Amino acid sequence: MSDNRSHLEEKYTWDLGTIFASDNDWEQEVQALNAALDQAKSDAGHLLDSSSQLLRITQTQLALSRRIETVYVYAHMKNDQDTTVAKYQEYQSKAAALYARFGEVYSFYEPEIMALDEETLSDFEAQEAGLKPYRHYFERLLKNKKHVLTPHEEELLAGAQEIFNAPEDTFGILDNADMSFPTIVDDQGQEVEITHGNFIKLMESKDRKVRQAAFEALYQTYEQFQHTYAKTLQSNVKVHNFQARVHHYDSARQAAMSANFIPEAVYDTLLASVHKHLPLLHRYLKLRQEVLGLSELKMYDIYTPLSEVDLAVSYDEALAKTEKILEVFGPDYAKRVHRAFTERWIDVHVNKGKRSGAYSGGAYDTNAFMLLNWQDTLDSMYTLIHETGHSMHSTFTRETQPYVYGDYSIFLAEIASTTNENILTEALLKEVTDDKERFAILNHYLDGFRGTVFRQTQFAEFELAIHQADQAGQVLTSDYLNNLYATLNEKYYGLPKAENHYIQYEWARIPHFYYNYYVYQYATGFAAASYLAHKIVHGQPEDIERYLDYLKAGNSDFPLAVIAKAGVDMTDTTYLDEAFAVFEKRLTELEALVAKGVLH
């Protein structure tokens, strides 16, 4: 087990004392917020009494939201650093309850604002100049006005939320708690039980027998439960289609995307472009087959790394290298990266009770903290530069925008982080001299692209197909889902479905199919990032300026207008074509290294 937190060097831990100097200060703020929420209750029913009331209530709501955000961030980060401390478990519960209470108190706000028409808003702005900065905020709320039902109807639907969440909740319990998988023999000759946590590691095994055994054991288990999984997924799709229909949308996709102000053309452009470039994926898989020395490639051969090189890197080395690489963005960006790396924004090492994974967090009034669980690997360095991208995005947005626009849409979030990853790849390829290391870096990039752009688009296509099928009256039986998924998988990977029988059950284990049109954003984000990184490294100084304008924009405009500031039109195929051009260039280079015999 890793060390207790008390044994860690302070410089490798984040400094949450910059949020609240003491736990006592946090508790006093929670009390003060509860009192303020008591007072705010009386504002219900009075939002549009006058221009001054609209301004006062809007400002009060945003100010309370801003304070609660800070309270919540402190509690959840204290809990994340060591989840065994009961005090901070309780803090996190109190903070979550405060958010819920805030939601209840201000549940009047959105229904009341829907009574606002353009003429009244213009009159109010003429009477009260203080309303002008909130014009875009009101515009966002009113954009989907025709899809908001009466307060009573919305209240009924809100009350049924727990029922609507049941399919996803059932999937979660079945998949994480009730499912158990068989035991196989691993590379070391040890018996090991397959889990969600070790499955990919087993699929990366150099021993093909281990990969095949893990693959077949996992999917044979899903095969046994396919009818139950089909029912949970079908019910979930029905919930999405029902909610879209009652809110007067043409489809669940239109409802999900309009919530983020993204036109459906972005989705269709992605599918069409990926279809056009599928021969590149088939070419990469052909190369994979050649490198692995196989007479035929199977789905369980997709994940094993082609390189034997282990590029070890310590945290302090990664920090110095990342700081140097990110100087490409200019002095403003570099100065903020230096602050993050030297002023204890990062919680670095694994310790007993620390939550797994990595994230960039924080609130409008705090540093953009990062949680890592560092290992001395190239992957950890990619994670560091990825989370730094999120943190710089947050920092520039919060410094530039008022609180009302001080966040950014999920659609844009992954672009800043993945652009950094792509810039790291560019830098590593520029400096590497050893062919074997170059091969490892190219392989890492191509696998990342395959897993994010091609695979997530395959998921997005499946998700669209099942929602449309249900809308057309098709029953989503396991037979229907298996056949649909196997056909799509054959189209994407070019591997015959008859010879890859078990992949037809993969849909059953993907939690993202319960997220309501979320996965396409991984693919658009990665492609945009690949395009932008290439422009930043090889383009003009104004490309960097435009990119920084995107980082600073926050929610001050609609998402597509914000990313257009960086020079990307996401309704057009150009950014995707450019991303695929980078993929092809690196694939060609990998093919040349193989032909050169670099692996022998």
DSSP line for 451-471: IIIIHHHHHHHHHHHHHHHHH
Provide the CA 292 distance to its chain's centre, in angstroms: 32
The pLDDT, as a whole number, for residue 2 is: 58
Q: What is the pLDDT of residue 416?
A: 96
Q: Are 89 and 78 in contact (CB under 8 A)?
A: no
- The CA R_g of the chain, rounded to the nearest whole Å, is 25
What are the beta bridge partners of residue 346?
A: 370
226-246 vs 151-159: helix crossing angle, rounded to 10: 170
pTM (2 d.p.):
0.91
Q: What is the pLDDT of residue 309?
A: 87
Q: Which helix (H) or strand (E) holds 423?
A: helix 410-431
Q: Give the pLDDT means over successive 10-residue stretches in the chain (600 positions).
A: 80 97 98 97 96 98 98 96 93 93 91 91 96 96 88 83 92 89 94 91 94 97 97 98 96 94 96 98 97 96 90 94 97 98 96 91 98 93 97 98 96 94 95 94 94 97 98 98 98 96 97 93 94 92 96 96 94 95 96 91
Catalytic residue among 112, 125, 387, 421: 387
Residue 1: predicted pLDDT: 42
What pLDDT, on the 0 to 100 scale, is given for residue 174? 92
Q: Helices in 247-377 by DSSP H: which ranges?
A: 252-258, 265-276, 278-292, 315-325, 331-342
Contact indicator for 71, 97 with CB cutoff of 8 Å: no
With contact defined as beta carbons under 8 Å apart, do 57 and 106 qualify? no
**Contacts for 161-165 with beta carbons within 8 Å, 24 or more apart?**
164/239, 164/243
Concerning whether 506 is annotated as a catalytic residue, the answer is no
What lies within 8 Å, CB to CB, of 2 at 6+ separation is 349, 350, 351, 352, 354
